[in-house]
Amino acid sequence: MKLSTYNFLTSMAIKGVKVGYPLKLRITKKDLVESEFNPTFIERLLPKLDWSAVHAAAQQAELADDIPAEQPENIAENELLMQKLHHLLFEIDVLEGEMECPETGRVFPITDGIPNMLLNEDEV
Amino acid sequence: MHNVAAIGQQGAVAYLSYVNRLPEVQLQEQQAWHRTLPNGLVLLPDFVSVEEEAALLEAVTVDTDYAQDKLKHRVVKHFGYEFIYGSNNVDADKPLEQRIPTACDFLWQRLSCNEAVPKIIPDQLTVNEYEPGQGIPPHVDTHSAFVDPILSLSLQSDTVMDFRRGAELVHVQLPRRSLLIMSDEARYDWTHGIKPKHSDIVPTPTGSLTTQQRSKRTSLTFRRLRRAPCDCAYATLCDTQQAKAPQALDEALSTHATELEKQNVHVVYDQIAQHFSDTRHTPWPKVTEFLQSFDPHSVLLDVGCGNGKYLNCNTELFSIGCDRSLGLLDVCQGRGQRVFRCDCLQLPIRSDSIDGCICIAVIHHLASRQRRLQALRELTRVLRPGGRALVYVWAKDQCRNDRKSTYLRQNKAVNKQRTTEQAQRQQLSTELQQLTVMDNLEVSLPVHTNRTEFQQQDIYVPWKTKGEQRTTFLRYYHVFEEHELEQLLTEVDHVVLRISYYDQGNHCVIFEKRK
């Protein structure tokens, strides 16, 4: 699971959960997949991402010092930060780990790179 | 004899060799001659005299092209009503000017003296002219079109007709000037056909077999229109019963929806994932067109992404896919695509976050109306205001403007007239008897015959794996009627239908979330 995918995931479908976001991420095994740095792509994608989960992902991906808690102004002009974001969102592939619903503690496992977000019938 | 002898027919070459015993096929062939006739089949030899034969032929000879069809394998003429081969039915509201010739009337009078035969006065006649080498594929006369019995008079030449029910095969020799009466089981539950051959293998009085050359044969098939649904007791080949969904079915489906989807959708796709993925590589052009209609860097969510064939269609998009099938998700993950596992009824995606959704061939696997509606609502929820979704579902109607969908056109056996849909249905029902159909659901659904028109909306569609381990899996489908998808969409809040269309046997909609 790429951390750009993580940014869109929520546990709000669970009965009684109000926001379910961001999920608490734990990474046990990750891979690095190099990809071409495309600053325009990141710049255009950023408004569609939720910075709280970008930041949460950085905490778990050992990039906590590189990604600030609040989204800086004029981020496109900061090439170093853009490169860090590129690395965080597109190059880190979480192979094993889990995500936890912040409200209920329900855990969604990540196995072989695929998050399992399936819910049981009695959870919805 | 170490040589090649040109004794075969039509220039075919026959190789001669010594054998210890007759081949298996030959034995089956012999057995097919010694079986008892199907129930309800009566053959009356010498039903008409040579003079009457000549008079009948004269009466049905039409000089003009009127109501005459040159089919691929024979010439046919209709009297009373035209038999329409596309629908395998007659139009009861459009009688032909040309009624059954009065010269035929003596036939039913003669027949009425026979106690063993149901009484009938036909109002439709089809005349078939078969040259040697021509035949008719195995078929059953459409149940709802004609009542029981059906009469067939053989003129000018003998032939052999094959009756089949599942694995059962009975050869029936039809002598010239004989009348064949198909009633009851023989009319409803057995198919009949004539092999396209120049000579027939027929039994001799001593019990062995010999060949017999065919010459031109004319058959007169007399039938009476039913003008009502069929009420027979033989469901396998009955168009009426295949079309009639049981009243309690919807309710039963709703009650057992999750179980049914689990066993006849999710489990099946996981088992056929690799084979399925190998056969799903070409993106549909209209879907690609939709994907190209987005600005670069838009966020796309493919709900039910399968093997991810649409995730790389437009590489300028930020594409995410989801599916239930781990087997298919593994294929995507292996290609480096962004995917996760979920159910389309509960998308684990932030609301208002997606620019475009596609949901191709997914919602027809949901077993109740409520669930199909819920899936559309979830798509809408995750779309940002102004975002657009494209949904494809399989259409019940596989013909548009007299043009068959690719799905039907790929029925190679029927297209080449080697067989008929009915023969395929019969074959399938035999196969299924050997298959352990998961049937503890209290939902009994008909099994669809692949590459044929759908008989009803809720069905099992077989998936046959190839290779050594041939297995048949049954997938549940709800095929959509025209406008059914649009109708569902009217019950979803905050959406505007942008366009709806029919594409390759699918009903499709593009809708937008209101700003």
pLDDT at A114: 97
Q: Mean pLDDT over residues B166-180, rounded?
A: 92
> What is the tens place of the pLDDT at every residue in B139-156?
999 999 999 999 999 999
Kind of pairing between the strands at B383-394 and B506-513: antiparallel
CA dihedral B230, B234, B237, B242 (to 10 degrees): 60
User: CA of A60 to nearest chain B CA: how many angstroms apart?
Assistant: 19
B34, with CB counted inside 10 A (0-12, 13-18, 19+), is exposed
Among all chains, which residue has been given the structure tokens 């509201």? B93
Rounded to whole angstroms, the Cα distance separating B300 from B165 reads: 51
Rounded to whole angstroms, the Cα distance separating A84 from A86 reads: 5
Q: Which residue has the higher pLDDT, B94 or B455?
A: B94
pLDDT classification of B71: cutoffs 50, 70, 90: low
For residue A96, give its domain range: 3-118
pLDDT at B437: 47
DSSP string, B361-408: S-GGG--SHHHHHHHHHHHHHHEEEEEEEEEEEEBS--EETTEE-HHH
Range list for CATH 2.60.120.1520 in chain B: 22-241
List the structure tokens of B232: 């027979």
* Residue B384: pLDDT over 80: yes
Structurally, chain A folds into a number of domains equal to: 1
- Share the mean pLDDT of chain B: 86
Q: For residues B69 and B239, is the Cβ–Cβ distance under 8 A?
A: no
- Share the mean pLDDT of chain A: 95
Does A118 sit within 8 Å of B324, measured CB to CB? Answer: yes
* Residue B303: pLDDT over 50: yes
Range list for CATH 3.40.50.150 in chain B: 252-397+482-513
Query: In B, which residues are within 8 Å of A22 by CB distance?
Result: none
* Residue B136: pLDDT over 80: yes
Question: b/e for A68-103, b at 16 or more Cβ within 10 A?
Answer: eeebeeeeeeeeebbebbbbbbbbbbbbbbbbebbe
Query: In B, which residues are within 8 Å of A45 by CB distance?
Result: 297, 299, 318
Does B355 sit within 8 Å of A50, measured CB to CB? Answer: no
List the structure tokens of B338: 């962004």
CA distances for B355 relative to B46, B82, B350, B390, B513, angstroms: 77, 54, 12, 12, 10
Kindly report the CATH number that applies to the domain delimited by B252-397+482-513. Answer: 3.40.50.150
- CATH number for the domain harbouring residue A40: 2.20.25.10
Query: In A, which residues are within 8 Å of B342 by CB distance?
Result: 117-118
pLDDT at B343: 96
DSSP percent split of chain A into helix, strand, coil, nearest 5: 35, 25, 45
**Is the torsion defined by CA of A95, B338, A91, A27 positive or negative?**
negative
Q: For residues B224 and B120, is the Cβ–Cβ distance under 8 A?
A: yes
List the structure tokens of B341: 């596992």
Tell me whether residue A76 is in a domain: yes
Q: Which residue has the higher pLDDT, A39 or B253?
A: A39
- In chain B the first and final C-alpha atoms are separated, in Å, by 87
* Residue B490 C-alpha from the chain's centroid: 32
- Lowest mean pLDDT, pick from B53-62, B164-173, B323-332, B398-407: B398-407
**Is the torsion defined by CA of B395, B400, B406, B409 positive or negative?**
positive
pLDDT at B483: 92
3-class secondary structure per residue, B76-131: EEEECEEEECCCCEEEEEEECCCCCCHHHHHHHHHHHCCCCCCCCCCCEEEEEEEC
Query: In A, which residues are within 8 Å of B351 by CB distance?
Result: 12
DSSP percent split of chain B into helix, strand, coil, nearest 5: 25, 30, 45
Tell me whether residue A24 is in a domain: yes
pLDDT at B457: 85
* Residue B452: pLDDT over 90: no
User: CA of B356 to nearest chain A CA: how many angstroms apart?
Assistant: 12
Q: Mean pLDDT over residues B248-275, rounded?
A: 82
pLDDT at B208: 79
Cis peptide before B118 (omega within 30 of 0): no
Nearest to B329 among A41, A114, A119 (CB): A114
> What is the tens place of the pLDDT at every residue in B347-372?
999 999 999 999 999 999 999 999 99
Tell me whether residue A34 is in a domain: yes
Nearest to A115 among B330, B341, B355 (CB): B341
Tell me whether residue A123 is in a domain: no
Query: In B, which residues are within 8 Å of A25 by CB distance?
Result: none
User: CA of A11 to nearest chain B CA: how many angstroms apart?
Assistant: 6
Rounded to whole angstroms, the Cα distance separating B269 from B333 reads: 17
Residue A19 CB coordination number (10 Å): 12
Percent of chain B with pLDDT over 90: 52
Q: How many CB pairs under 8 A join A and B?
A: 73
Nearest to B341 among A45, A50, A118 (CB): A118
Q: Mean pLDDT over residues B247-271, rounded?
A: 81
* Residue B69: pLDDT over 70: no
List the structure tokens of B32: 């097919």
User: CA of B333 to nearest chain A CA: how many angstroms apart?
Assistant: 7
Q: For residues B193 and B136, is the Cβ–Cβ distance under 8 A?
A: yes
Rounded to whole angstroms, the Cα distance separating B353 from A50 reads: 9
> What is the tens place of the pLDDT at every residue in A94-120?
999 999 999 999 999 999 999 999 999
Rounded to whole angstroms, the Cα distance separating B140 from B103 reads: 27
Q: What is the pTM of this model?
A: 0.67
pLDDT classification of B189: cutoffs 50, 70, 90: very high
pLDDT at B463: 81
Tell me whether residue A105 is in a domain: yes
> What is the tens place of the pLDDT at every residue in B461-503?
888 776 666 677 888 899 999 899 999 999 999 999 999 999 9
CATH class of B22-241: mainly beta
* Residue A53: pLDDT over 70: yes
pLDDT at B438: 46
Q: Mean pLDDT over residues B208-212, rounded?
A: 84
Query: In B, which residues are within 8 Å of A40 by CB distance?
Result: 297
